Each structure stands twice: as C-alpha cells, then as structure tokens.
C-alpha cells in the first residue's frame, strides 16, 4: 500500500438547492414507491442511478407531455412557463423543488423582458437552468457561453446582462467590461449564486495544500467543469473523476497528501467512496 493521507474538503458536496430537491424526491419515493422527474434530478450519474434504484423515473420534455394524472418533480434548475402550462393541461401535480435563487433570477429576467429591455444571459445554451431563464423572455434572450460567442457587431446601445447562477464571477465581470469597451451600456445583474462563487477562493486554498487533488463530479455538471478548472490552476496535479472506476494508481506516489473535493452536484457518499478506494491503493 502507498500509505496515502487522504482528506475530503468539508465545504464540497451538494448545495442547499440540490439537497432540498433530493430530500423531496426521497420522501415521495418512500411513500409512493415511484416518482417522475423532469430531467436528471442532479448532474451526477452516480446519484441519479442511486435514486432510480429507489423508483425515480427520469423523463424528457416529450415524455412529460404524454403524462397525465401523475406527480412530477421539478428539480432545482427550475423550468420555463411552458412546463407549468403542460402540467395544468394534463392534470399533473408538480412537486416544485426549484432553487429559490433560480426562481428569484427568473422573476428578475421576466421583469426586464416585460419592460422591453434587451436581455443577455451568460450561460450554456441548452442547460436546464438556462432553458428556464430563457423561457421567461419567450425564448428571445441572447444566450452566450463566452464573449467570443457573442455577435459583437450587432449589440444594441444598451443591454441588461444576467448570468446562469453557476458561472464564474470573474468571467462575468470581464465580459461586462469587454462589451462596454465597444460602446454598449451594460446594466449588469450579478445573479451568480454566492454559495458557488465563494467556493473559488476556498478551493484554491484547499487545492494548493495537497500533493494531489482528486476532483469528483458528473461529466454533465457546468459547475463541476468550472471549479475543476479552479483546482487545476491552483494545483496542476488535479484529476477529474466521475466514479471510483476512473481512479488510476499511477497518479499517486508513496506517502503523499491527497485532497478530495467536488462540485455542488457531487454527493458526499461518492467522495467518501473515492477516499476509501484511494486509501486502499
């Protein structure tokens, strides 16, 4: 055995929005034996599989539109108005676990749109949260993942700039500055979740304190991709895994200090499993 000293970052793991959604799902599964969920309840395949084993049934929008007289969970990412309209038409009882931070953002975007101001959203097109945000604008908001993606030749004179809640604060402000440098007035609404943004400095300090960092996250997690990059910058010996099966013994050498951390969509039980596997090497 390599005699590795392994520690988990105590600040890693589910954010409160994900905890709330999963607790609601587990309560209904315990009582009813099954529950439909519109999309993956969390962007972590291991956790999704655990809940599917308990009776969670993941459906997409097409399948959702065919359901009638059922209970359906709305996950923390939130949903566009069309989802609620479908539920009313099909007598679907929505178990709404939308994160309060996301709901507040949806309401702010809708107010801006209703006042006829151009809405720009820094986020990933097609991401579950962004679908809900864009839906508040009748799908007219401009969504972009980077400054380079934007059509910089057709900016209006003034825009209102929002952000998906899990994006980088630094990148958001850099984008604002770049747009303003082109002569467009930007009303910036910093809507990044502070539970996410505060992790930046915490993780940099954590990652720099270990010989090797193992970052645990689902491959679909936008938050995971962002904060993995943060860890990698602080410690080049940082490796991304989605399960214990991705661990490689040659990442480690005798008596090293190993740090384990993860995204806001990473369950603590999975990080614990990774820890135990590494200790057994």
Q: What is the DSSP string of 218-239?
A: -TT-HHHHHHHHHHHHH-SSEE
Per-residue burial over 58-84, b = 16 or more CB atoms within 10 Å of its CB, e = otherwise: bbeeeebeebeebebbbbbbbbbeebe
3-class DSSP state of 57: strand
Q: How far apart are CA 86 and CA 94, in angstroms?
A: 10
The tokens of 233 are what? 């910058």
129 in catalytic set: yes
If we measure between CA atoms, which residue out of 83, 133, 143, 90 comes closest to residue 112? 133
User: Which residue of the set 27, 46, 129, 140 is catalytic?
Assistant: 129
Angle between helices 199-208 and 222-234 (to 10 degrees): 40
Which residues have a catalytic role annotated?
Answer: 129
């Amino acid at each position: 055995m390599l005699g590795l000293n392994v520690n988990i970052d105590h600040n890693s793991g589910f954010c409160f929005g994900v905890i709330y959604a999963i607790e609601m799902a587990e309560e209904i599964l315990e009582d009813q034996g099954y529950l439909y969920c519109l999309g993956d309840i969390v962007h972590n395949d291991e956790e999704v599989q655990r809940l599917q084993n308990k009776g969670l049934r993941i459906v997409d929008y097409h399948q959702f539109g065919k359901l009638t007289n059922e209970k359906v969970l709305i996950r923390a990412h939130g949903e566009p108005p069309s989802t609620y309209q479908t539920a009313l038409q099909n007598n679907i009882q929505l178990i709404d676990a939308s994160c309060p931070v996301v709901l507040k953002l949806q309401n702010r975007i809708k107010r801006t749109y209703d006042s006829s101001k151009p809405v720009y959203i820094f986020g990933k097109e097609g991401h579950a949260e962004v679908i809900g945000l864009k839906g508040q604008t009748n799908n007219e908001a401009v969504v972009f993942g980077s400054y380079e993606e934007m059509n910089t030749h057709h900016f209006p004179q003034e825009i209102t700039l929002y952000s998906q809640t899990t994006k980088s604060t630094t990148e958001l402000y850099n984008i604002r500055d770049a747009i303003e440098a082109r002569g467009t007035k930007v009303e910036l609404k910093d809507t990044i979740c502070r539970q996410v943004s505060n992790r930046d400095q915490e993780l940099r300090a954590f990652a720099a304190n270990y010989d090797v960092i193992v970052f645990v996250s689902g491959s679909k997690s936008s938050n995971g991709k962002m904060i993995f990059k943060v860890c990698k910058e602080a410690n080049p010996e940082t490796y991304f895994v989605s399960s214990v099966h991705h661990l490689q013994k040659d990442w480690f050498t005798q008596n090293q200090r190993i740090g384990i951390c993860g995204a806001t969509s990473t369950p603590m039980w999975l990080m614990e499993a990774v820890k135990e596997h590494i200790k057994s090497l």
